[in-house]
A and B are shown apart, each in its own frame.
Chain A
Amino acid sequence: MMLSVRDLKVSFRTDDGLVRAIDGVSFDLEEGEILGVVGESGSGKTVSLLAVMGLITDPNAVIEGSIRYKGRELVGLPARELRRLRGNEIAMIFQDPMTALTPVYTIGWQIAEQIQAHQRLSRSAALDRVEELLAEVNFPNPREAMSRYPHQLSGGMRQRAVIAMALSCNPALLVADEPTTALDVTVQAGILDLVRKLRATHNSAVVFITHDMGVVSELADRVMVMYAGRIVERGSRSELFNDPSHPYTRALLGSIPPLTGDKPRRLPAIPGSPPSLLRLPKGCAFGPRCPARYEPCDAGKPDLAGGSHAAACFRVAQA
């Protein structure tokens, strides 16, 4: 097992008391596997992966549970040790390529900086490597692109540069946080292709965070659906999309307008909106919006139950 997360809890101390952003998340990731993490804003999909990266710098954050990377416990690991992993073995791609790069340095400089932080390489050797990387992510003219500043590149090109940077030390694990949300669909298609290609060539495991079910269904081997800080359903791609069992997953899939075939006059919509973490309902967090809600749902929070395909729902457990 490459990555094994057990009962991860992330809370933030606020004026209104302790807010639990992540409430007992557990998952595993194999080498070369693409895990899709789906959820809406506030579902905790980003926070849980930032915790894995050790990138939650808020002094008011409390992180509990266990994150094992190749058997090594990351929670409580000294910053120095964590830094050696970050950018080297575990790399991350962020949502907005417009702001993810330091505006005052060239692309080449920023990628070389990461290489030199982890490998003993001369400047020129590092720059040669940068050129290779940019060619790998389909920059038509890598030598020339290296001397460009971020603002001189289009959004798609910047995201490619960010990906090249993430790949610079051949990471075993790549965490991508909504890397295509800010991009046009035509550009997104190219980036998704690239991620698939990278998995094939580098055998990296990928955690792909997104709110777009379509993207997940095209890319992921396994899928994890999150709602209000908990995993509500997880399974292989075909399990999840052919046979969704949690009412939230079903409703979410149902509310996406189809691109082909008949148009429904009205879309099956989920009422209400995602709950605020400050005021979570007592029982199941999805309860107030759930069409299948019954008495047990108000009493307690359902646990994730089942084998490889599991759902956190009293109805599903009962059936």
Chain B
Amino acid sequence: MTGTDQPILETRALSKRFSIGTRFSSEGRRVVHAVDNVSLTVRRGETVGLVGESGCGKSTLARCLVRLYDITDGQLLFDGDDITAKSLAELRPVRRRLQMVFQDPSASLNPRRRVGDLVAEPLRVHAKLTSAGIRERVAELFDLVGLLPDHVGRYPHEFSGGQRQRVGIARAIALNPDLVVLDEPVSALDVSVQAQIVNLLADLQDKLKLTYIFIAHDLSVVRQVSTRIAVMYLGSIVEEGPSEEVFSAPAHPYSQALISAVPVVETTPSGRRKRIILSGDVPSPLKPPAGCRFHPRCPVAKDRCRTERPALVEHKSGRKVACHFPASV
């Protein structure tokens, strides 16, 4: 088919804008730049982690990538194929290869259906299988995600949060997708259960040669799962690079603050890391600041940052930073 260097997913200057209000409402029609000019390349077999504070646009971007949202501007390429403006019917064969797992497993599973049916549903819609074939495939999927065969006849509410997320994952991988977008898949789970799901995702990636886009607000989980990460702030990517490099030596002041803020278990009090505390809140995406969008909160902002918006520039192979004065990479 295609060469391995062909990116599985690529966005070119992708933007998503929502308008709120109408021309007749008191403040007039206003536009929210939820995702602003994002160019991201996802290669086969890797896991790209998207991180950032709530409201940074990471979930909106994820929904654009699977075309749950229409894209306002830019291009979205799946396996070299431009799917930016494809109709629902044209998307059908793509949907099979492009799946999504949501945060709250109890909200995304129909409570009145047995979990076996829920997992079989995508097979009935997309795959040409006999009912025996479907049963066989469901059993296989249950085994893959670590559910017992006799769980097939149960309802979602009979499961714990971790098991429900396993059902959600089984559904997502039922059609052998190439890419799975995981939106906060472990955030609603108990700490002791998170590690199980993180391991399961890693195992499935190995076995099924999956590519992941992984979104979570828990940075240590993102680091564990991702090979590459992209840090987002107010709808744009401010830093991108191999996960371990970005975590050990973040170049953008925002990434530095974000990573330093994560509380970690330190056994020796002297070993406590220096923390950068950001002043103020994330500005409203309705009125993003001029210049660099991070400058009002940036500890190292200079005059240039207030007027000129830095572009996402490659500083070193695979390390991109959108900052006029990045820390040395």
Same assembly: yes
Which A positions have Cβ atoms within 8 angstroms of B? 40-41, 140, 154-157, 184-190, 192-193, 211-215, 217-218, 238, 241-242, 251-253, 255-260, 263-271, 273-274, 289
**Interchain CB contact under 8 A, A217 and B163:** no
- Report the bound CA distance from A209 to B265 in whole Å: 16
Stretch touching chain A among B91-99, B148-156, B256-264, B317-325? B256-264
Interface membership of chain B positions 215-229, coded 1 if the CB is closer than 8 angstroms to chain A and 0 otherwise: 001011101100000
Query: What are the residues of chain B within 8 A of A155 when measuring CB–CB?
Result: 54
**Interchain CB contact under 8 A, B224 and A274:** no
Interface pairs (5), CB distance under 8 Å: A140-B280, A214-B262, A258-B264, A266-B203, A267-B224
Chain A proximity of B220: nearest CB distance (Å): 4
**Interchain CB contact under 8 A, A256 and B190:** no
**Interchain CB contact under 8 A, B202 and A265:** yes
**Interchain CB contact under 8 A, A274 and B190:** yes
B86, CB-defined interface residue at 8 Å: no
**Interchain CB contact under 8 A, B192 and A40:** yes
Given A212-B263, A259-B220, A266-B199, A186 and B278 touching (CB < 8 A)? yes
Closest to A180 in B: B263
Closest to B199 in A: A266
Closest to A212 in B: B263
The contact of A156 among B194, B248, B260, B281, by CB within 8 Å, is B281
Given contacts A218-B263, A273-B162, 17 further A-B contacts (CB under 8 A): A185-B217, A185-B258, A185-B261, A189-B261, A189-B275, A212-B263, A217-B263, A217-B265, A218-B266, A238-B269, A255-B194, A256-B191, A260-B248, A263-B244, A267-B198, A274-B190, A289-B192
Most buried by A among B192, B195, B261, B264: B192
Which B positions have Cβ atoms within 8 angstroms of A? 53-54, 160-163, 190-196, 198-199, 202-203, 217, 219-221, 223-224, 244, 247-248, 257-267, 269, 272, 275, 277-278, 280-282
Closest to A193 in B: B277
**Interchain CB contact under 8 A, B195 and A267:** yes
What 10 A-B pairs are tightest by C-beta distance, nearest first?
A214-B263, A257-B224, A269-B195, A255-B195, A189-B261, A267-B195, A273-B160, A40-B190, A184-B53, A270-B192
Chain B proximity of A314: nearest CB distance (Å): 20
**Interchain CB contact under 8 A, A186 and B193:** no
Query: What are the residues of chain B within 8 A of A253 when measuring CB–CB?
Result: 265
Closest to B189 in A: A273
The contact of A211 among B190, B262, B282, by CB within 8 Å, is B190
**Interchain CB contact under 8 A, B220 and A258:** yes
Most buried by A among B161, B219, B281: B281
**Interchain CB contact under 8 A, B266 and A217:** yes
- Report the bound CA distance from A155 to B190 in whole Å: 23
Query: What are the residues of chain A within 8 A of B261 when measuring CB–CB?
Result: 185-186, 188-189
**Interchain CB contact under 8 A, B199 and A269:** yes
Query: What are the residues of chain A within 8 A of B160 when measuring CB–CB?
Result: 273-274
Query: What are the residues of chain B within 8 A of A154 when measuring CB–CB?
Result: 281-282
Query: What are the residues of chain A within 8 A of B262 when measuring CB–CB?
Result: 185, 214, 259
Closest to A260 in B: B248
Closest to A182 in B: B54
Query: What are the residues of chain A within 8 A of B194 when measuring CB–CB?
Result: 255
Query: What are the residues of chain A within 8 A of B258 when measuring CB–CB?
Result: 185-186
The contact of B264 among A190, A217, A238, A271, by CB within 8 Å, is A217
Given A186-B278, A267-B199, A271-B196, A260 and B247 touching (CB < 8 A)? yes
Chain A proximity of B256: nearest CB distance (Å): 11
- Report the bound CA distance from A155 to B55 in whole Å: 12
**Interchain CB contact under 8 A, B223 and A259:** yes
- Report the bound CA distance from A41 to B161 in whole Å: 11
**Interchain CB contact under 8 A, B265 and A255:** no
Chain B proximity of A68: nearest CB distance (Å): 32
**Interchain CB contact under 8 A, B161 and A273:** yes
**Interchain CB contact under 8 A, B277 and A190:** yes
- Report the bound CA distance from A82 to B325 in whole Å: 57
Given A40-B190, A185-B217, A273-B190, A241 and B199 touching (CB < 8 A)? no
Closest to A237 in B: B269
Query: What are the residues of chain A within 8 A of B267 when measuring CB–CB?
Result: 217, 238, 241-242
**Interchain CB contact under 8 A, A259 and B190:** no
- Report the bound CA distance from A242 to B162 in whole Å: 29
- Report the bound CA distance from A193 to B274 in whole Å: 13
- Report the bound CA distance from A211 to B277 in whole Å: 22
The contact of A213 among B259, B265, B282, by CB within 8 Å, is B265
Query: What are the residues of chain B within 8 A of A190 when measuring CB–CB?
Result: 277-278
Query: What are the residues of chain B within 8 A of A193 when measuring CB–CB?
Result: 277
Closest to A192 in B: B263
Given A186-B278, A188-B261, A263 and B224 touching (CB < 8 A)? yes
Query: What are the residues of chain A within 8 A of B260 when measuring CB–CB?
Result: 189
Query: What are the residues of chain B within 8 A of A268 when measuring CB–CB?
Result: 195
Chain A proximity of B240: nearest CB distance (Å): 19
